[in-house]
Amino acid sequence: MKTLATITSALALSTLLTGCVGVGPNTQEGAVTGGTLGAIAGAIIGHNSRGGDTLGGAVLGATAGAIAGGTLGNAQDQRNGTLYTSEPGPRRVVVSGPPPPPSSSPTEYPGRSPDPSAVWIPGYWDYTGAGYVWTPGRWEVPPPMATSYIAAHWETRGNAYVFVRGYWR
């Protein structure tokens, strides 16, 4: 009876944790999926061997599965050229013409870099659809495989102008 409760708990926890990453880079999805499948397989194998160590098998299987799944997902990200952005999803605002930003920008003092690999991202006037709001500059460590930072800018798309926030590429 105790074994059934342990297996049921492992399955319930695995199912719950699977929902933690619904969308995102393949690395994250692969790690969660691999961890879930590894926990299930490890619990079954652990129960049937090593003196019925269901929990130990689940932990070992989840760890191995998460590492393998993350590795395979990362390989897929590299093949696809997955973009990692520094801000949550670029927000685009479409207008008939780009309104001029305010004439002056606040003076920024970057200070000392918090990390040797950090890059200073200068502040910019962010267009909200109703007007501009100053977004201060910041130090940022580039995401893995990022080679350049594309600053916030206006783009012409068809007969409209679109404001695109900065992102890593």
Q: Which tens digits make up the pLDDT trace of 89-108?
A: 545 566 667 778 788 889 99
Q: Flag whether the pTM goes above 0.75.
A: no
pLDDT in tens, 16-69: 454 444 334 556 666 667 667 767 766 777 677 767 676 776 677 667 766 766
Q: Which long-range contacts (CB under 8 A, 24 or more apart) does 113-118 make?
A: 113/139, 114/139, 115/139, 115/141, 117/141, 117/142
Q: Tokens at residue 52, please?
A: 């019925």
5: DSSP letter: H
pLDDT in tens, 148-165: 999 988 888 888 888 888
Sign, CA dihedral 98-99-105-109, equals: negative
Strands 132-135 and 124-127 come out as antiparallel
